Amino acid sequence: MHKNLFIVSLLVLFTNLGYAQSEKIKIKSDNLTEVNYLKMDDFYLTHYLYIDVFLRENLFPEASPEDVSSILKAVKKYVSLENRLDIEIEKPGDRNYLIKFAILKKEDGTELLIAFTNWSVKKRVFEKEIKVENDSYTRWYFLNGNKMTYRKDMSNQNDYANMNKSDLANAYLFDELSKNDSKIKTTIDEALKEKDASISDQIMTNLILLKYLMFKRDTDNVEKQTKHLNDLFEIGALESNIKGLEMAFNATKFQIELMK
């Protein structure tokens, strides 16, 4: 198959899965082999890549669930140590948004999923091509079985002993240690019992609970928790620091759609 040929079979795959590839998104690869190399839970894939590749730096916030899903499914199906994946997203202006996904294996056996882009953090523009050696926006994640962990969420980057209960539950949810997963719910429950918590603190803890329910695929309670958060946001509508929490909640609701 010709190098960088647009993958027609990917379009068929996404259509079969209920998501059609958008005309403004081109997915390219040197190799059509379906490897299913990445074993991480879809919860982590949708959480990190949606926020980091679409929302941060205002890269492509207008993406639909279909747009994002088509890319994430391709990443999980086709990216391996031997095979990289190139994404081109049509945008207004002279330059499109380019993303290259690759896996790097370090000497100690640690594997990283890396997303390279053509966004220049310094110039605040899309470059003509991806330049790995300059200031192009890049994100990388540690892979460990079904875990996918951003470098700043790794357990050795956090002081768990000095965290409040809400932050600790969040750290347990997103770190690389599977043994901490069993501590998430009890830690959230302890945070919810704190009587002096402000409305913004309550919202934050309930957002973490929503994420946990998504992680557990507890569909019924995800719906109930979403409604509960809507009520909390109404109560805290006049809080000065509510805007950032609203953005996080909107991103989480988008993620719920991705995981359906």
d(CA 165, CA 171): 10
In a domain, 143, yes or no: yes
End-to-end CA distance of the chain: 33
Instruction: Examine the domain organization and report whether 18 and 147 are in the same domain.
Output: yes
Among 181, 222, 211, 187, which residue's Cα sits nearest to residue 51? 211
d(CA 213, CA 155): 22
d(CA 101, CA 84): 6
d(CA 132, CA 119): 11
SS3 of residue 20 by DSSP:
coil
In a domain, 52, yes or no: yes
Other C-beta atoms lying within 10 Å of the C-beta of residue 252: 21
Angle, alpha carbons 36-40-46 (nearest 5°)? 105
In a domain, 238, yes or no: yes
* Crossing angle of the two packed helices 42-49 and 199-215, in degrees rounded to 10: 130
pLDDT in the model for residue 135: 81
pLDDT in the model for residue 8: 30
Instruction: Examine the domain organization and report whether 47 and 114 are in the same domain.
Output: yes
Q: What DSSP character marks residue 52? A: I
Instruction: Examine the domain organization and report whether 170 and 130 are in the same domain.
Output: no
Instruction: Examine the domain organization and report whether 144 and 164 are in the same domain.
Output: no
Q: Which residues contact 206 (CB under 8 A, 6 or more apart)?
A: 192, 225, 228, 229, 232
pLDDT in the model for residue 131: 82
d(CA 252, CA 234): 17
Residue carrying structure tokens 């993303």: 99
Domain that holds residue 189: 155-258
In a domain, 3, yes or no: no
pLDDT in the model for residue 30: 74
Instruction: Examine the domain organization and report whether 49 and 96 are in the same domain.
Output: yes
Instruction: Examine the domain organization and report whether 35 and 129 are in the same domain.
Output: yes
Indicate the residue among 125, 152, 179 that finishes a domain.
152
Indicate the residue among 130, 152, 174 that finishes a domain.
152
Instruction: Examine the domain organization and report whether 119 and 217 are in the same domain.
Output: no
Number of domains the chain is built from: 2
Q: What is the phi/psi pair of residue 47, to 5°?
A: -65, -55
In a domain, 1, yes or no: no
pLDDT in the model for residue 4: 34
Q: What is the mean pLDDT of each run of 10 residues along the chain (260 residues)?
A: 34 34 78 81 96 95 93 92 93 92 95 96 93 85 96 96 97 97 98 92 97 97 98 89 92 95
d(CA 143, CA 177): 11
